[in-house]
C-alpha cells in the first residue's frame, strides 16, 4: 500500500487538526503510506469549499453519504459531532471503508456495540481518536509501567480541567445540549481520562460518580449549529442539559483504585489533562499543559537523591523523537494527532488493527455509561461491555 485516500467528514477543530496531520506526515514519516487528501465534507457548501482550499483537499461535498460511497476513498475520517458517528460508521462499514472516528465513539453503549460489530464484520481497519496516548511523555509512562519499572499499580488519579464556560453568560452552544453532545464534561473530557486510565493501568471494573450543572440556564446562541464551541448570545435563555462537571471513583480489575474528574469550571486551567499513577516501585505524573514533560519517581533511587525527575521527552530514545527536532525542542498539541494518524497508517500498511481502536472506544463507552448510571442511581455500578 503506497497511498491511502482519505475522505474526511467535518472541517472545524478536528477537521483542521486531522487535515494537518495528513498534510505533514509525508515530510516526517515517509515510511508509512502517504495519505491523500481526497475529499472533505461539511454541511455548509461555502464553508466546506473554503476549508477544501485552505487545507488542500481535492474535492468538497456536503453529503457524508456521498463520501462513504466513493470509489476513490479508502479511509473515512469522522471528525463530525458525536451524534452522527453511529450512522456514518455503519454506512462506511457497509461500503468496506476503513474508519477513523473521533471520540467518544457513540452516544450510547448500545450504539458503540453495533459500531464495533459492524467494522469487525466488514473486516476493515478501525481507529478511535484518543490522541493523548501519543504524546511522547505519555508513551514513556506506558513504557515504564509495561516494563514493570513502577511495580504493582496502586493509584490512578486523573483530571481534565478546563475553564471556558465559567462565565454564566457564555452561550448555550451545542456542546451544552444533550441531544447533540450526548454528554457534557464527562463525555467530552472524561472520555479522555478514562482512555488514559485504561491505556496505562488497565480495565475499570466498577464506578460511583457525581455530576453537577453549576449554571443551569444560559443565553441562547444566535448561531447554534456547527461544531464550534463559541457563539453569539441572542437575549433568550435555555436550559443546560449536560453536566458541567463529573467526578467519580473507580476500582480497576487489577486492584488499583482511582479518582476521576472532568470539569469545565476550573478557572486557570486551559487544558489540564493530567494524571498521576503510583505503583509499588515508583510514580509518574503528567499534565498536558506541559506535554513534553513526564515526572517520574523511583523508590530504588539512592536515599539521598530520591525525588521526582522532570523528564523532557524530546529526544531519542523517546517515542517519535527521532523524527522531529533536537533535544529540548518541544512538540505541540498537533503532534499527538500526527502520531495517532501514523499509527493508523502503519496499521494499514501492516495489515493489523491500530491501537486504540473501536474496542477501546467501546470499553470507554461502557465506563461512561456505568458512570452515568451510577449518578442516576446514586450507587456503585459495575462496568459491563
List the interface residues with its own copies, window 211-250 (CB under 8 A).
212, 214, 229, 244-245, 247-249
Give φ, ψ of 307 to 5 degrees. 180, 160
Q: Restricting to residues 184-203, which ones interact with its own copies according to CB under 8 A?
A: none
Q: Does 266 bind its own copies (CB under 8 A)?
A: yes
CA distance linking residue 256 with residue 251, whole number of Å: 6
Q: Which is nearer to its own copies, 65 or 329 (CB)?
A: 329
Compute the least distance from the CB of residue 242 to its own copies, in Å.
Answer: 16
Q: Does 271 bind its own copies (CB under 8 A)?
A: yes
The closest of 167, 174, 198, 200 to 188, measured between CA atoms, is 174
CA distance linking residue 64 with residue 53, whole number of Å: 18
CA distance linking residue 129 with residue 360, whole number of Å: 10
CA distance linking residue 308 with residue 145, whole number of Å: 16
CA distance linking residue 257 with residue 262, whole number of Å: 17
Q: Restricting to residues 20-39, which ones interact with its own copies according to CB under 8 A?
A: 20, 23-24, 26-27, 30
Q: Restricting to residues 274-293, which ones interact with its own copies according to CB under 8 A?
A: 276, 278-283, 288-292
Q: Restricting to residues 92-121, which ones interact with its own copies according to CB under 8 A?
A: none
The closest of 13, 1, 19, 12 to 341, measured between CA atoms, is 19
Among 123, 235, 326, 351, binds its own copies (CB under 8 A): 326
Q: How many C-alpha atoms does 48 have within 13 Å on its Cβ side? A: 21
Q: Which is nearer to its own copies, 25 or 180 (CB)?
A: 25
Q: Which is nearer to its own copies, 94 or 299 (CB)?
A: 299
Q: Which is nearer to its own copies, 23 or 178 (CB)?
A: 23
What Å distances lie between residue 44 and 24, 80, 324, CA to CA? Answer: 26, 13, 36
Q: Restricting to residues 141-170, which ones interact with its own copies according to CB under 8 A?
A: 143-144, 152, 154-155, 157, 162-164, 166, 168
Stretch that binds its own copies, among 78-86, 114-122, 208-216, 218-226 (CB under 8 A): 208-216
Amino acid at each position: 500500500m503506497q497511498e491511502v485516500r482519505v475522505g474526511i467528514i467535518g472541517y472545524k477543530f478536528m477537521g483542521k487538526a486531522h487535515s494537518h496531520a495528513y498534510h505533514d506526515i509525508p515530510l516526517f514519516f515517509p515510511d508509512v503510506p502517504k495519505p491523500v487528501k481526497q475529499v472533505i465534507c461539511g454541511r455548509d457548501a461555502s464553508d466546506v469549499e473554503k476549508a477544501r482550499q485552505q487545507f488542500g483537499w481535492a474535492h468538497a461535498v456536503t453529503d457524508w453519504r456521498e463520501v462513504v460511497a466513493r470509489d476513490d476513498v479508502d479511509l473515512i475520517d469522522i471528525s463530525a459531532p458525536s451524534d452522527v458517528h453511529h450512522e456514518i460508521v455503519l454506512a462506511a462499514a457497509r461500503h468496506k471503508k476503513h474508519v477513523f472516528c473521533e471520540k467518544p465513539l457513540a452516544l450510547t453503549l448500545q450504539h458503540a456495540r453495533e459500531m464495533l460489530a459492524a467494522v469487525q464484520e466488514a473486516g476493515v481497519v478501525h481507529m478511535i481518536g484518543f490522541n493523548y496516548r501519543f504524546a511522547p511523555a505519555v508513551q514513556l509512562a506506558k513504557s515504564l509501567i509495561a516494563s514493570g519499572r513502577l511495580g504493582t499499580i496502586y493509584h490512578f488519579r486523573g483530571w481534565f480541567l478546563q475553564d471556558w464556560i465559567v462565565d454564566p453568560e457564555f452561550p448555550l452552544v451545542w456542546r451544552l445540549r444533550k441531544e447533540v453532545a450526548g454528554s457534557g464534561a464527562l463525555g467530552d473530557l472524561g472520555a479522555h481520562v478514562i482512555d488514559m486510565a485504561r491505556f496505562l493501568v488497565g480495565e475499570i471494573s466498577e464506578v460511583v460518580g457525581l455530576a453537577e450543572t453549576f449554571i443551569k440556564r444560559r443565553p441562547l446562541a444566535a448561531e447554534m449549529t456547527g461544531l464550534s464551541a463559541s457563539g453569539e448570545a441572542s437575549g433568550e435563555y435555555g436550559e443546560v442539559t449536560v453536566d458541567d462537571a463529573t467526578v467519580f471513583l473507580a476500582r480497576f480489575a487489577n486492584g488499583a483504585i482511582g479518582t476521576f474528574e472532568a470539569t469545565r469550571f476550573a478557572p486557570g486551567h486551559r487544558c489540564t489533562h493530567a494524571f498521576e499513577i503510583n505503583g509499588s516501585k515508583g510514580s509518574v505524573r503528567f499534565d498536558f499543559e506541559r506535554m513534553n514533560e513526564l515526572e517520574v519517581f523511583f523508590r530504588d533511587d539512592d536515599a539521598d537523591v530520591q525525588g521526582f525527575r522532570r523528564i523532557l521527552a524530546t529526544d531519542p530514545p523517546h517515542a517519535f523523537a527521532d523524527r522531529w527536532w533536537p533535544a529540548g525542542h518541544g512538540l505541540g498539541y498537533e503532534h499527538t494527532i500526527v502520531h495517532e494518524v501514523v499509527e493508523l497508517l502503519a496499521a494499514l500498511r501492516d495489515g493489523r488493527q491500530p491501537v486504540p481502536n473501536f474496542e477501546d472506544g467501546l470499553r470507554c463507552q461502557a465506563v461512561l455509561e456505568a458512570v452515568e448510571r451510577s449518578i442516576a442511581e446514586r450507587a456503585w455500578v459495575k462496568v459491563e461491555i
